[in-house]
Amino acid sequence: MANSEYTAENITVLKGLEGVRKRPGMYIGATDVSGLHHLIWEVVDNGVDEFLAGEADQIDIIINKDGSITIKDDGRGIPVDIHPTEKVSALQLAAATLHAGGKFDNDSYKVSGGLHGVGLSVVNALSKWAKIQVFQDGKEYIQEYKTGIPEYKVKEVGKSKERGTWVTFQPDKTIFDTVEFTSKMILPRLRQHAYLNGGLTFNFEDQRPDSKMFYTFRFDGGIKSYLKHLNENLKPIQDKIFYAKEELDQVEVEVALQFTNDLQHRELFFGNNIQNKEGGTHAAGFRAALTKTINDYHQENSIEKEKGIKLTGDDVKEGLTAVVSVKVLDPIFENNAKTKLINKEVTPITRKIVGDSLKTFLDENPRDAKNISGRAIIASRARAAAKAAREAVVRKGALDGGGLPGKLADCLERDPAKSEIYIVEGDSAGGSAKSGRDRRTQAIFPLRGKPINSEKYRLDRVLSNTEIVDLIKALGIGVGETMDITKLKYHKVILMADADVDGAHINTLMLTLFFRHLRPVVDGGYLYIAQPPLYKLTFGVNDWIWVQDDTELQQVLKERKGKTPKTSRFKGLGEMDAEELWATTMNPETRILKRVTVQDTEEADRMFDTLMGEEVAPRKRYIQTHSQEAELDI
């Protein structure tokens, strides 16, 4: 054992904001593109809090020409006077000191999303430089910073008619994987903020030369407008949207819901304007109220032979779209990402408000009530059929691990972390893949024909498809209520289809299956799409190159100017022999795999509805809108 001393000299003290720069993940979750954009929301949330306090009505987000970003609100402005005990400007405390802010003072903010006092200071610490301008009482004040350290004391720079706080910052590229902001990650979140805060205007402007744009979001209808947006491509089965907003014991609960003819359900939960993707106490209260109230209505109003049906939570939420927003004085979240609200008092309050209001709604709207109750009864019967289908499959040995499908060519490795399975389109490609693979770690599952469209059918119908049942059996995780992602046999599940229209369609059908019925495979980061090359360019006997697409083809031809290669275009995996398939698509040293992730669950849900759902009109509109972006496969 090493004989080293451990004394006070070994204790490192990180002063000021050094700890944030040393361990940024503790404060923003990650230093990838999501962490980069998290900086925006830390500042935007301050403006939203000003709106909730009745002091602001507009927030501007501007990506500047140099790639920095400016966020403005027209609120009261961060105080600039000298703090009575700290003896420095309150602005400097808020911008350069952890756990300092107005969110701890209930007199300043009745409701706030961030009570930890770290937002602005963390943004400042993780920026190469930052500048904060405050406009108060007809005057402008300013302070600038380098990596979170003030360049000078807060100073008054002149008179101004503006009001509020302007924060400009340039993220530090030594901290983040990328410092390039993207509108695709900003606009959906701004739209959501505008829905949740009816009457608040959000302006977004990108001033960069290659991506100039301007958007304004404002929805006076609040979450009712949000609900209409979510159901835009769906067919409602109730004429009137249910809406309730009430405050009880200093907890405000706002709910909007509507049932559609869709097989999926959509529930969005927010605590103090922050989306809680894992739900929490407000979700528990809402679901309990929904199940009990619809069950009570069903028992009181159904015909005699249907009264014996006891509706479950799964029954009553099929086809449901709901937005639930609660506001509490002191929100408590399970983690720094705030994905789950855990204030215990919220559950009974939400349950009472939703239960009482929904009962009144059903009594006053008998036609809607009948449609909702009838829909739940149909879902209950379908659930029983799905359960029977699962049990039938298990009895046949399809999901219980009692045997693998004959079409599966399994690998020798038994450690899931080292194993991968290729789901391959067609028998010929499957044969090449089986011959060319690394048998130690790579399993092959050939798909015969096009799989069932999982968007249009309930689970019982999906399980009537032999291909799907065999695939679930191969993965080893089960399906529906019995699914257990810890039993996944392969930590790389790779979709490998032809680089043509039919291949794209098969990949889309498989992505629909995984998104709707095998979602933990996606959420766990286990699903990938292989990228087979489109061309092989041969310049000589031992001089050839694989080319991924037309863009890369033009680049290669430009680089090798004066040389005319023999060009082979692969429209199908079956055209490649085993060696070619291994070299281009399966060799871990040279292949390209794209991991399937869901950055925006709401948008992904809408896209599957549009492209794969029952309604034709939204799909037609989408195709007409994006037809110019399509590439012909000739």
Tell me, yes or no, if 45 is annotated catalytic: no
Statement: residue 188 has pLDDT above 50:
yes
Statement: residue 255 has pLDDT above 60:
yes
Burial call 552-586: b when 16+ CB within 10 Å, e when fewer: ebeebeeeeeeeebeebebebbbebeeebbbbbbb
Query: Are the C-beta atoms of 301 and 369 separated by less than 8 Å?
Result: yes
Please give the pLDDT value at position 187: 94
Q: Which of 67-71, 178-182, 523-527, 599-603 has the lowest mean pLDDT?
A: 599-603
CA distance linking residue 214 with residue 192, whole number of Å: 17
Statement: residue 16 has pLDDT above 80:
no
Please give the pLDDT value at position 559: 86
Considering the domain architecture, whether residues 368 and 326 belong to the same structural domain is answered as yes
Mean predicted confidence (pLDDT) in 145-158: 91
Please give the pLDDT value at position 89: 87
Considering the domain architecture, whether residues 124 and 273 belong to the same structural domain is answered as no
Q: Give strand pairing partners of 420.
A: 442, 492
Q: Could you give the angle at the alpha carbon of 278 between the alpha carbons of 529 and 473, nearest 5°?
A: 45
Distances (CA, A) of 562 to 555, 557, 558: 13, 8, 9
Statement: residue 398 has pLDDT above 60:
no
Please give the pLDDT value at position 115: 37
Q: Which of 166, 191, 217 is the last residue of a domain?
A: 217
SS3 524: coil
Statement: residue 571 has pLDDT above 70:
no
pLDDT in tens, 334-365: 876 778 999 999 999 999 999 999 999 999 99
Q: Which of 487, 473, 467 is nearest to 424 (CA)?
A: 467
Query: Are the C-beta atoms of 441 and 458 separated by less than 8 Å?
Result: no
Considering the domain architecture, whether residues 207 and 72 belong to the same structural domain is answered as yes
Q: Supply the angle between the helices 183-196 and 222-230 in degrees, to the nearest 10.
A: 130
CA distance linking residue 435 with residue 413, whole number of Å: 17
Statement: residue 626 has pLDDT above 60:
no
Query: Are the C-beta atoms of 231 and 268 separated by less than 8 Å?
Result: no
What residue has token string 């939570």? 313
Tell me, yes or no, if 502 is annotated catalytic: yes
Considering the domain architecture, whether residues 87 and 163 belong to the same structural domain is answered as yes
> Has residue 262 been placed in a domain?
yes
Considering the domain architecture, whether residues 590 and 624 belong to the same structural domain is answered as no
SS3 292: helix
Range of the domain at 617: 602-628
Statement: residue 595 has pLDDT above 80:
yes
Tell me, yes or no, if 498 is annotated catalytic: yes
Q: Which of 162, 400, 502, 552 is catalytic?
A: 502
Q: Supply the angle between the helices 281-301 and 346-364 in degrees, to the nearest 10.
A: 30
Give 163: exposed, middle or buried? Use CB within 10 Å, 0-12, 13-18, 19+.
middle
Q: Which of 206, 159, 199 is nearest to 181 (CA)?
A: 206
Distances (CA, A) of 587 to 269, 424, 528, 578: 43, 15, 15, 11
CA distance linking residue 123 with residue 173, whole number of Å: 13
Backbone torsions φ then ψ of 504, nearest 5 degrees: -65, -40
> Has residue 9 been placed in a domain?
no
SS3 109: coil
Considering the domain architecture, whether residues 146 and 268 belong to the same structural domain is answered as no
Please give the pLDDT value at position 611: 65
Give, for 443, the enclosing helix (H) or strand (E): strand 442-447
13 — pLDDT class (breaks 50, 70, 90): very low
CATH of the domain at 307: 3.30.230.10
Give, for 165, the enclosing helix (H) or strand (E): strand 164-171
pLDDT in tens, 545-556: 888 878 888 888
CATH of the domain at 466: 3.40.50.670
Number of folded domains that form the chain: 4
Distances (CA, A) of 343 to 27, 264, 396, 520, 601: 22, 28, 46, 27, 25
Considering the domain architecture, whether residues 196 and 338 belong to the same structural domain is answered as no
Q: Which of 45, 577, 569 is nearest to 270 (CA)?
A: 45
Q: Which of 388, 422, 446 is the last residue of a domain?
A: 388
Tell me, yes or no, if 105 is annotated catalytic: no
Q: Which of 395-404, 406-415, 485-494, 617-626 has the lowest mean pLDDT?
A: 395-404
Considering the domain architecture, whether residues 139 and 190 belong to the same structural domain is answered as yes
Query: Encoding tokens for residue 250?
Result: 């200093």
14 — pLDDT class (breaks 50, 70, 90): very low
Please give the pLDDT value at position 632: 43
**Edge-to-edge strand ranges of the sheet holding 527-530:** 442-447, 420-425, 492-496, 527-530, 593-595
Q: Which of 42, 206, 425, 455 is catalytic?
A: 425
Listing DSSP states for 30-92 in one string gives -SSHHHHHHHHHHHHHHHHHHHHTTS--EEEEEE-TTS-EEEEE-SS----SBPTTT-SBHHH
CA distance linking residue 370 with residue 361, whole number of Å: 12
> Has residue 480 been placed in a domain?
yes
Q: If phi over 0 gives left and psi between -120 and 50 gives alpha, with beta otherwise, what is residue 385?
A: alpha
28 — pLDDT class (breaks 50, 70, 90): confident
- Please, what is the end-to-end C-alpha distance for the chain in angstroms? 70
Statement: residue 563 has pLDDT above 90:
no
Mean predicted confidence (pLDDT) in 222-233: 92
**Edge-to-edge strand ranges of the sheet holding 242-248:** 242-248, 251-259, 320-327, 266-271, 274-275
**No. of helices (H) and no. of strands (E), the chain:** 20, 22
Considering the domain architecture, whether residues 590 and 472 belong to the same structural domain is answered as yes
> Has residue 2 been placed in a domain?
no
What residue has token string 């693998």? 404
326 — pLDDT class (breaks 50, 70, 90): very high
Query: Encoding tokens for residue 436?
Result: 């060319």
State the pairing for strand pair 492-496/420-425: parallel
Query: Encoding tokens for residue 433?
Result: 């893949």
Query: Are the C-beta atoms of 237 and 371 separated by less than 8 Å?
Result: yes
Enter the pTM of the model.
0.71
> Has residue 446 been placed in a domain?
yes
Please give the pLDDT value at position 405: 72
> Has residue 545 been placed in a domain?
no
If one compares 576 and 255, the residue with the highest pLDDT of the two is 255
If one compares 287 and 618, the residue with the highest pLDDT of the two is 287
Considering the domain architecture, whether residues 154 and 244 belong to the same structural domain is answered as no
390 — pLDDT class (breaks 50, 70, 90): low
Q: Which of 81, 220, 364, 500 is catalytic?
A: 500
Query: Encoding tokens for residue 148?
Result: 């979170």
Give, for 325, the enclosing helix (H) or strand (E): strand 320-327
Statement: residue 631 has pLDDT above 60:
no
> Has residue 7 been placed in a domain?
no
Please give the pLDDT value at position 352: 97
CA distance linking residue 504 with residue 118, whole number of Å: 45
Q: Supply the angle between the helices 346-364 and 366-395 in degrees, to the nearest 10.
A: 120
Q: Which of 22-26, 143-147, 225-229, 401-405 has the lowest mean pLDDT?
A: 401-405
Considering the domain architecture, whether residues 232 and 206 belong to the same structural domain is answered as no
CATH of the domain at 121: 3.30.565.10
Q: What is the mean pLDDT of the chain?
A: 84
Burial call 147-162: b when 16+ CB within 10 Å, e when fewer: bbebeeebeeeeeeeb
Mean predicted confidence (pLDDT) in 413-425: 93
Statement: residue 523 has pLDDT above 50:
yes
Considering the domain architecture, whether residues 249 and 330 belong to the same structural domain is answered as yes
Give 177: exposed, middle or buried? Use CB within 10 Å, 0-12, 13-18, 19+.
exposed
Q: Give strand pairing partners of 324.
A: 255, 269
How much of the chain exceeds pLDDT 90, in percent?
Answer: 46
> Has residue 253 been placed in a domain?
yes
Q: Which of 49, 74, 318, 498 is catalytic?
A: 498
